[in-house]
Structure 1
Amino acid sequence: MTELLKVEGLSAGYGEAVVLQGVSLSLAEGKTLALLGRNGTGKTTLINTLAGATRQHGGSILLAGKALHKMAPHERAAAGIGWVPQERNIFKSLTVHENLTAVARPGRWTPDRVYEMFPRLGERKSNLGTQLSGGEQQMLAVGRALVLNPRLLLLDEPLEGLAPIIVEELLLAIRRVTRDEGLSAIIVEQHPQAILRISDSAVVLDRGTVVHAGTADELLDQPQLLEQLLGVAR
């Protein structure tokens, strides 16, 4: 199986503050990794570091053999990183359609395919970002990452604070683009069970280091291990 992402000995943080220490992980082409851990363990910092939004102090990040750690954020996007940060970062002064067309790159994911997957966005394509609900903004953030036609999708807590019906829509969409269409993804989520069910592997961080790495099924099948690592019950 072809290795898409390889992270080795990664140390990174903000300014002089080091949050991640010696993190190593890998992800095969077409696979999904659930990135888990309690609050403040470095999950968002790792996602941000892959996207180029932190200061890297050591280690390497390779995407399909290319040294991402030597690239600026816009170069990483061009190399195949699609990033949906916690803040969503949509262009709120632009319409839904303008948000999608402003960043679209050639490939199978087009604005029309995003509208087909998220009919709510198709109904609101002329609405400004400020006129969307939180769930619709999250759908737009995911759609905007997809029209970049990335090789690796980074999702930072995509379900946080959303109504249950929106959570289900987003989970179905994430399952479709990963399971059905084979897009590689790393997903950070505070509530692990839903994400583990659509993931192939799982990495747990604690205090900026990897404390567990294995299959997603392993954690689903061992609720006591999940509780020990995350302090949650199944």
Structure 2
Amino acid sequence: MADNPVSIGILEDDADMRGYLSGLLGDEAGMAIAFSCGTLAEARAAVAEGWPDLCLVDIRLPDGSGLDFLQDLKDANEAGAQGHALILTVLGDRASVLLAFEMGANGYLMKDTPPQQILRDVRAVLAGGNPISPQAASHLLSLMRSRPAAADAPQAEADVLTSRELDVLQMFSRGLSYREAAETLGISVHTVSDHVKAIYAKMAVHSKNEAVYEAVRNGWLEM
């Protein structure tokens, strides 16, 4: 891994935070900083020749929104790139965070997240996970539940998901990882992964965040 480090991009307008993240991730074995930018324009210029493996993205920027950068990444992935993104924001900006998840962000980081948690969440995304801190999950699900119900009557959960699949989603709604969910439910990580694949297929979603969002919106899950 040292010969082929994963590339990390940082889009954060606060210079101190940007420097802190650059030092934290740049010093980590197997990781290399591809760019560290304070504006949307600078980040767009930095990815003109190719996207890094993972971008940490702030929402509020001096020349636009991190959501615009997420849209750029989504377009690039549809064209064949394989980039990932972690939101880097504050809890107060809940509406923007919800929108970012709907646009395909892979996880949620708060700016006061401890350094070891940041490293764990970054590695989780690179391994295919979708980390959400417990505090962020609570706020996010609260906001989603407050949204107006869809015009069409939702299907009963029994018509879509099994009780065990709902158990797995409940674990994810609490911010647990695959391993933590497996330990809590007394099943293997492989079994959890199989349940997730079934959930994705049945609900026509592509991430844990989408699945939790749709389950809460349909009234299948409670915090």
Same fold at TM > 0.5: no
| TM-score bin, normalised by smaller chain | 0.3 to 0.5
- Taking structure 1 as the reference length, what is the TM-score of the superposition? 0.34
Give 1 or 2: higher strand fraction.
1
